[in-house]
Amino acid sequence: MTKPVLVVGSLNMDMVVRAPRHPQVGETIFGTFFNTYPGGKGANQAVAIARLGVAVTMIGKVGSDAFGSELVRIASDEGINTDWISHEPNQTSGIALITVSENGQNTIVVVPGANAYLTASDLDSAHSAFEEAALVVLQLESPLETVLHAAELAQRIKIPVLLNPAPAQTLPLELLQQVDILIPNQHELLQISGQSEMDSAIETLLRLGVKQLLITLGEEGVILASVNQRLLIPAFKVTAIDTVAAGDAFVGALAVALTRGLSLKKAAQFANAAAAISVTRPGAQPSLPTQIEVRKFLKEHLH
Ligand code: ATP
Ligand code: RIB
Protein backbone atom coordinates (compact mmCIF):
# COMPACT_ATOMS: atom_id res chain seq x y z
CA MET A 1 0.00 0.00 0.00
CA THR A 2 1.16 3.57 -0.75
CA LYS A 3 2.28 5.48 2.33
CA PRO A 4 -0.01 8.36 3.38
CA VAL A 5 0.57 11.98 2.47
CA LEU A 6 0.81 14.19 5.55
CA VAL A 7 -0.88 17.60 5.38
CA VAL A 8 -0.03 20.11 8.11
CA GLY A 9 -2.37 23.08 7.91
CA SER A 10 -5.61 24.94 8.35
CA LEU A 11 -9.28 24.06 8.57
CA ASN A 12 -11.78 26.90 8.05
CA MET A 13 -15.51 27.26 7.65
CA ASP A 14 -16.04 29.30 4.48
CA MET A 15 -18.90 31.83 4.40
CA VAL A 16 -19.46 32.41 0.72
CA VAL A 17 -21.55 35.10 -0.96
CA ARG A 18 -22.03 35.54 -4.69
CA ALA A 19 -22.55 39.04 -6.06
CA PRO A 20 -22.60 40.59 -9.55
CA ARG A 21 -19.27 42.26 -8.74
CA HIS A 22 -16.96 43.04 -5.80
CA PRO A 23 -18.08 46.12 -3.81
CA GLN A 24 -15.88 49.23 -3.69
CA VAL A 25 -14.56 50.35 -0.29
CA GLY A 26 -17.44 52.03 1.58
CA GLU A 27 -20.05 50.64 -0.83
CA THR A 28 -22.95 48.26 -0.05
CA ILE A 29 -24.30 46.05 -2.83
CA PHE A 30 -26.86 43.24 -3.03
CA GLY A 31 -25.59 39.69 -3.41
CA THR A 32 -27.50 36.78 -4.91
CA PHE A 33 -26.53 33.74 -2.83
CA PHE A 34 -25.05 32.66 0.52
CA ASN A 35 -23.78 29.31 1.75
CA THR A 36 -21.25 27.85 4.17
CA TYR A 37 -18.75 25.27 2.93
CA PRO A 38 -15.90 23.44 4.64
CA GLY A 39 -12.59 24.99 3.59
CA GLY A 40 -9.16 26.06 4.74
CA LYS A 41 -6.16 25.49 2.49
CA GLY A 42 -4.84 22.56 4.55
CA ALA A 43 -8.18 20.75 4.74
CA ASN A 44 -8.94 21.45 1.07
CA GLN A 45 -5.63 19.92 0.02
CA ALA A 46 -6.21 16.92 2.31
CA VAL A 47 -9.70 16.38 0.83
CA ALA A 48 -8.29 16.70 -2.71
CA ILE A 49 -5.78 13.95 -1.91
CA ALA A 50 -8.37 11.67 -0.26
CA ARG A 51 -10.81 11.99 -3.19
CA LEU A 52 -8.03 11.09 -5.59
CA GLY A 53 -7.54 7.83 -3.76
CA VAL A 54 -4.38 8.30 -1.68
CA ALA A 55 -4.31 7.88 2.11
CA VAL A 56 -3.91 11.19 3.92
CA THR A 57 -3.28 12.26 7.51
CA MET A 58 -3.85 15.82 8.65
CA ILE A 59 -2.34 17.74 11.57
CA GLY A 60 -4.33 20.86 12.50
CA LYS A 61 -6.45 22.70 15.04
CA VAL A 62 -10.10 23.66 15.18
CA GLY A 63 -11.93 25.66 17.83
CA SER A 64 -14.07 24.46 20.69
CA ASP A 65 -17.22 25.46 18.78
CA ALA A 66 -19.83 23.82 16.57
CA PHE A 67 -17.86 24.64 13.39
CA GLY A 68 -14.88 22.80 14.87
CA SER A 69 -16.82 19.57 15.41
CA GLU A 70 -18.37 19.86 11.95
CA LEU A 71 -15.02 20.42 10.23
CA VAL A 72 -13.47 17.37 11.91
CA ARG A 73 -16.51 15.21 11.13
CA ILE A 74 -16.45 16.26 7.47
CA ALA A 75 -12.71 15.57 7.20
CA SER A 76 -13.19 12.16 8.78
CA ASP A 77 -16.12 11.37 6.46
CA GLU A 78 -13.80 12.14 3.53
CA GLY A 79 -11.50 9.38 4.78
CA ILE A 80 -8.82 11.68 6.19
CA ASN A 81 -7.00 10.41 9.28
CA THR A 82 -8.02 13.09 11.81
CA ASP A 83 -6.22 11.61 14.86
CA TRP A 84 -3.92 14.66 14.95
CA ILE A 85 -6.61 17.35 14.55
CA SER A 86 -7.37 18.75 18.00
CA HIS A 87 -9.83 21.24 19.49
CA GLU A 88 -8.21 24.37 20.96
CA PRO A 89 -10.03 25.36 24.17
CA ASN A 90 -11.65 28.81 24.27
CA GLN A 91 -10.96 29.53 20.60
CA THR A 92 -13.23 29.83 17.61
CA SER A 93 -12.55 27.77 14.50
CA GLY A 94 -10.91 29.43 11.53
CA ILE A 95 -13.35 31.13 9.18
CA ALA A 96 -13.06 32.66 5.73
CA LEU A 97 -15.36 35.37 4.34
CA ILE A 98 -15.43 34.86 0.60
CA THR A 99 -17.02 36.98 -2.12
CA VAL A 100 -17.33 35.42 -5.56
CA SER A 101 -18.24 37.73 -8.44
CA GLU A 102 -20.18 36.79 -11.57
CA ASN A 103 -16.98 36.22 -13.55
CA GLY A 104 -15.82 33.65 -10.96
CA GLN A 105 -13.15 35.87 -9.32
CA ASN A 106 -12.91 35.84 -5.53
CA THR A 107 -11.70 37.90 -2.59
CA ILE A 108 -11.09 36.18 0.76
CA VAL A 109 -10.62 37.41 4.33
CA VAL A 110 -9.42 34.66 6.69
CA VAL A 111 -9.67 34.86 10.49
CA PRO A 112 -7.34 32.04 11.61
CA GLY A 113 -8.85 31.42 15.09
CA ALA A 114 -7.66 28.02 16.35
CA ASN A 115 -5.34 27.57 13.34
CA ALA A 116 -3.07 30.18 14.92
CA TYR A 117 -2.56 27.86 17.91
CA LEU A 118 -0.95 24.98 16.03
CA THR A 119 2.53 24.80 17.59
CA ALA A 120 5.85 23.09 16.95
CA SER A 121 5.22 20.94 20.00
CA ASP A 122 1.91 19.73 18.47
CA LEU A 123 4.02 18.50 15.55
CA ASP A 124 6.53 16.81 17.89
CA SER A 125 3.62 14.95 19.50
CA ALA A 126 2.60 13.76 16.03
CA HIS A 127 6.10 12.55 15.15
CA SER A 128 4.81 9.11 14.16
CA ALA A 129 2.67 10.73 11.44
CA PHE A 130 5.85 12.22 9.91
CA GLU A 131 7.69 8.92 10.14
CA GLU A 132 5.09 7.01 8.15
CA ALA A 133 4.46 9.71 5.49
CA ALA A 134 5.38 9.55 1.79
CA LEU A 135 5.57 13.33 1.59
CA VAL A 136 4.54 16.41 3.56
CA VAL A 137 2.30 19.19 2.22
CA LEU A 138 2.38 22.65 3.84
CA GLN A 139 0.69 26.05 3.33
CA LEU A 140 0.89 29.36 5.22
CA GLU A 141 -2.41 29.54 7.13
CA SER A 142 -0.59 28.10 10.17
CA PRO A 143 2.04 30.04 12.19
CA LEU A 144 5.28 30.42 10.23
CA GLU A 145 7.44 28.87 12.98
CA THR A 146 5.17 25.79 12.94
CA VAL A 147 5.47 25.52 9.16
CA LEU A 148 9.25 25.82 9.44
CA HIS A 149 9.33 23.13 12.14
CA ALA A 150 7.25 20.81 9.95
CA ALA A 151 9.72 21.27 7.09
CA GLU A 152 12.66 20.61 9.44
CA LEU A 153 11.06 17.44 10.86
CA ALA A 154 10.37 16.15 7.35
CA GLN A 155 13.86 16.96 6.07
CA ARG A 156 15.47 15.29 9.10
CA ILE A 157 13.79 12.01 8.15
CA LYS A 158 14.24 12.62 4.42
CA ILE A 159 10.61 13.05 3.40
CA PRO A 160 9.97 15.43 0.46
CA VAL A 161 8.30 18.73 1.37
CA LEU A 162 5.78 20.57 -0.84
CA LEU A 163 5.01 24.14 0.22
CA ASN A 164 2.10 26.14 -1.19
CA PRO A 165 3.10 29.60 0.12
CA ALA A 166 -0.46 30.92 0.45
CA PRO A 167 -1.52 33.39 1.68
CA ALA A 168 1.65 35.15 0.52
CA GLN A 169 4.12 36.43 3.08
CA THR A 170 7.85 37.01 3.39
CA LEU A 171 9.57 33.70 4.09
CA PRO A 172 12.76 32.96 6.01
CA LEU A 173 15.59 31.62 3.87
CA GLU A 174 15.84 28.44 6.01
CA LEU A 175 12.26 27.57 5.06
CA LEU A 176 12.82 28.15 1.33
CA GLN A 177 15.90 25.94 1.46
CA GLN A 178 14.11 23.07 3.18
CA VAL A 179 11.34 22.83 0.63
CA ASP A 180 11.64 20.38 -2.26
CA ILE A 181 8.84 21.85 -4.37
CA LEU A 182 7.50 25.39 -3.93
CA ILE A 183 4.07 25.98 -5.52
CA PRO A 184 3.17 29.70 -5.51
CA ASN A 185 0.69 31.48 -7.74
CA GLN A 186 2.01 34.47 -9.66
CA HIS A 187 1.17 36.97 -6.93
CA GLU A 188 2.81 34.82 -4.23
CA LEU A 189 5.90 34.34 -6.41
CA LEU A 190 6.43 38.11 -6.69
CA GLN A 191 5.77 38.77 -3.02
CA ILE A 192 8.08 36.02 -1.72
CA SER A 193 10.91 36.99 -4.05
CA GLY A 194 10.49 40.75 -3.57
CA GLN A 195 10.64 41.16 -7.36
CA SER A 196 8.20 42.88 -9.71
CA GLU A 197 8.32 40.54 -12.69
CA MET A 198 8.24 36.82 -13.14
CA ASP A 199 11.63 36.04 -14.71
CA SER A 200 13.63 37.88 -12.08
CA ALA A 201 11.42 36.40 -9.35
CA ILE A 202 12.17 32.88 -10.59
CA GLU A 203 15.91 33.65 -10.85
CA THR A 204 15.94 35.11 -7.33
CA LEU A 205 14.26 32.12 -5.71
CA LEU A 206 16.41 29.58 -7.54
CA ARG A 207 19.52 31.52 -6.52
CA LEU A 208 18.34 31.47 -2.89
CA GLY A 209 18.25 27.68 -3.02
CA VAL A 210 14.67 26.74 -3.98
CA LYS A 211 15.11 23.44 -5.81
CA GLN A 212 11.93 23.24 -7.88
CA LEU A 213 9.25 25.86 -8.55
CA LEU A 214 5.77 25.25 -9.95
CA ILE A 215 4.12 28.61 -10.58
CA THR A 216 0.38 28.36 -11.12
CA LEU A 217 -0.99 30.88 -13.63
CA GLY A 218 -4.76 30.40 -13.39
CA GLU A 219 -6.31 29.76 -16.82
CA GLU A 220 -2.85 29.77 -18.43
CA GLY A 221 -1.64 26.69 -16.54
CA VAL A 222 1.62 26.21 -14.67
CA ILE A 223 5.31 26.90 -15.20
CA LEU A 224 7.88 24.34 -14.05
CA ALA A 225 11.12 26.12 -13.18
CA SER A 226 14.41 24.76 -11.88
CA VAL A 227 18.04 25.59 -12.58
CA ASN A 228 17.96 23.61 -15.85
CA GLN A 229 14.34 23.94 -16.89
CA ARG A 230 11.53 26.35 -17.81
CA LEU A 231 8.41 24.63 -19.09
CA LEU A 232 4.80 25.82 -19.42
CA ILE A 233 2.16 23.11 -19.02
CA PRO A 234 -1.01 24.77 -20.37
CA ALA A 235 -4.28 24.65 -18.43
CA PHE A 236 -7.31 22.84 -19.82
CA LYS A 237 -10.01 25.00 -21.44
CA VAL A 238 -13.11 25.09 -19.23
CA THR A 239 -15.71 27.67 -18.22
CA ALA A 240 -14.76 28.84 -14.75
CA ILE A 241 -17.60 29.76 -12.41
CA ASP A 242 -15.74 29.75 -9.04
CA THR A 243 -11.97 29.51 -8.72
CA VAL A 244 -11.94 29.16 -4.90
CA ALA A 245 -9.62 26.23 -4.05
CA ALA A 246 -8.24 25.88 -7.61
CA GLY A 247 -4.79 26.16 -6.08
CA ASP A 248 -5.69 23.59 -3.42
CA ALA A 249 -7.03 21.16 -6.03
CA PHE A 250 -3.77 21.62 -7.94
CA VAL A 251 -1.51 21.06 -4.90
CA GLY A 252 -3.46 18.04 -3.63
CA ALA A 253 -3.49 16.40 -7.05
CA LEU A 254 0.21 17.11 -7.55
CA ALA A 255 0.99 15.39 -4.24
CA VAL A 256 -1.10 12.38 -5.32
CA ALA A 257 0.61 12.09 -8.70
CA LEU A 258 4.10 12.39 -7.20
CA THR A 259 3.26 9.78 -4.54
CA ARG A 260 2.28 7.47 -7.39
CA GLY A 261 5.66 8.00 -9.04
CA LEU A 262 4.65 10.19 -12.00
CA SER A 263 7.24 12.56 -13.49
CA LEU A 264 6.88 16.21 -12.49
CA LYS A 265 5.59 17.07 -15.97
CA LYS A 266 2.92 14.34 -15.92
CA ALA A 267 2.06 15.22 -12.32
CA ALA A 268 1.55 18.87 -13.29
CA GLN A 269 -0.75 17.83 -16.13
CA PHE A 270 -2.79 15.63 -13.78
CA ALA A 271 -2.97 18.55 -11.31
CA ASN A 272 -4.06 20.95 -14.08
CA ALA A 273 -6.93 18.55 -14.86
CA ALA A 274 -8.08 18.27 -11.22
CA ALA A 275 -7.89 22.07 -10.82
CA ALA A 276 -9.74 22.69 -14.10
CA ILE A 277 -12.63 20.52 -12.91
CA SER A 278 -12.68 22.37 -9.57
CA VAL A 279 -13.17 25.80 -11.18
CA THR A 280 -16.33 24.61 -12.95
CA ARG A 281 -18.04 23.96 -9.58
CA PRO A 282 -18.94 26.18 -6.61
CA GLY A 283 -17.33 26.06 -3.16
CA ALA A 284 -13.97 24.90 -1.88
CA GLN A 285 -14.23 21.25 -0.86
CA PRO A 286 -17.46 20.52 -2.79
CA SER A 287 -15.61 21.46 -6.00
CA LEU A 288 -12.78 18.92 -5.60
CA PRO A 289 -12.92 15.99 -8.05
CA THR A 290 -12.55 12.25 -7.52
CA GLN A 291 -10.02 10.01 -9.21
CA ILE A 292 -12.68 8.68 -11.62
CA GLU A 293 -13.69 12.23 -12.62
CA VAL A 294 -10.09 13.26 -13.33
CA ARG A 295 -9.41 10.10 -15.38
CA LYS A 296 -12.58 10.72 -17.44
CA PHE A 297 -11.67 14.40 -17.92
CA LEU A 298 -8.16 13.51 -19.10
CA LYS A 299 -9.51 10.94 -21.52
CA GLU A 300 -11.87 13.54 -23.00
CA HIS A 301 -9.34 16.39 -23.13
CA LEU A 302 -6.05 14.73 -24.15
CA HIS A 303 -5.61 13.76 -27.77
P1 ATP B 1 -7.17 30.13 -5.80
O2 ATP B 1 -6.54 31.11 -4.86
O3 ATP B 1 -8.31 30.69 -6.62
O4 ATP B 1 -7.46 28.80 -5.19
P5 ATP B 1 -4.58 30.15 -6.96
O6 ATP B 1 -4.42 31.62 -7.22
O7 ATP B 1 -3.86 29.55 -5.83
O8 ATP B 1 -6.10 29.76 -6.91
P9 ATP B 1 -4.37 29.67 -9.77
O10 ATP B 1 -3.04 29.90 -10.37
O11 ATP B 1 -5.43 30.68 -10.01
O12 ATP B 1 -4.14 29.35 -8.24
O13 ATP B 1 -4.96 28.27 -10.26
C14 ATP B 1 -4.35 27.04 -9.91
C15 ATP B 1 -4.50 26.08 -11.07
O16 ATP B 1 -5.90 25.88 -11.31
C17 ATP B 1 -3.95 26.57 -12.39
O18 ATP B 1 -2.56 26.31 -12.51
C19 ATP B 1 -4.78 25.78 -13.38
O20 ATP B 1 -4.30 24.45 -13.48
C21 ATP B 1 -6.15 25.73 -12.69
N22 ATP B 1 -7.02 26.83 -13.12
C23 ATP B 1 -7.29 27.98 -12.47
N24 ATP B 1 -8.14 28.76 -13.15
C25 ATP B 1 -8.46 28.07 -14.28
C26 ATP B 1 -9.30 28.32 -15.41
N27 ATP B 1 -10.00 29.45 -15.52
N28 ATP B 1 -9.36 27.36 -16.37
C29 ATP B 1 -8.67 26.20 -16.27
N30 ATP B 1 -7.86 25.91 -15.23
C31 ATP B 1 -7.74 26.83 -14.25
O1 RIB C 1 -7.75 28.28 -0.97
C2 RIB C 1 -9.10 28.45 -0.65
C3 RIB C 1 -9.26 28.57 0.83
O4 RIB C 1 -8.64 29.75 1.27
C5 RIB C 1 -10.71 28.68 1.28
O6 RIB C 1 -11.30 27.44 1.50
C7 RIB C 1 -10.60 29.55 2.52
O8 RIB C 1 -10.86 28.86 3.71
C9 RIB C 1 -9.18 30.11 2.51
O10 RIB C 1 -8.41 29.49 3.45
Pocket test for ligand 2, best of 140, 248, 279 (most atoms within 8 A of CB): 248
Q: Tell me the CA–centroid distance for residue 40 and ligand 2, in Å.
A: 4
Which ligand has an atom closest to residue 297 CA?
A: 1
One DSSP character per residue, 156-178 reads: HTT--EEE---S-----HHHHHT
| Mean pLDDT across 204-216 | 97
**Residue 198's pLDDT is what?**
96
Of all atoms in ligand 2, which is nearest to the CA of residue 166? 1
> Which residues lie closer than 8 Å to 85 by C-beta, 6 or more apart?
11, 58, 59, 60, 61, 62, 72, 75
Closest CA to 164 of 51, 79, 254, 264: 254
Residue 248 annotated among the catalytic residues of the structure:
yes
User: Quick check: CB of 236 below 6 Å from ligand 1?
Assistant: yes
Closest CA to 57 of 39, 75, 73: 75
User: Quick check: CB of 246 below 6 Å from ligand 1?
Assistant: yes
The 3 state secondary structure assigned to 32-83 is CEEEEEEECHHHHHHHHHHHCCCCEEEEEEEECCHHHHHHHHHHHHCCCEEE
pTM of the model: 0.97
Q: Give kind and range of the element (H or E) at residue 84.
A: strand 81-88
| Mean pLDDT across 124-149 | 98
> At residue 105, does pLDDT exceed 90?
no
User: Quick check: CB of 163 below 6 Å from ligand 1?
Assistant: no
**Peptide bond just before 167 cis, omega within 30 deg:** yes
Give the pLDDT band (50/70/90) at residue 1.
Answer: low
Q: Tell me the CA–centroid distance for residue 294 and ligand 2, in Å.
A: 22
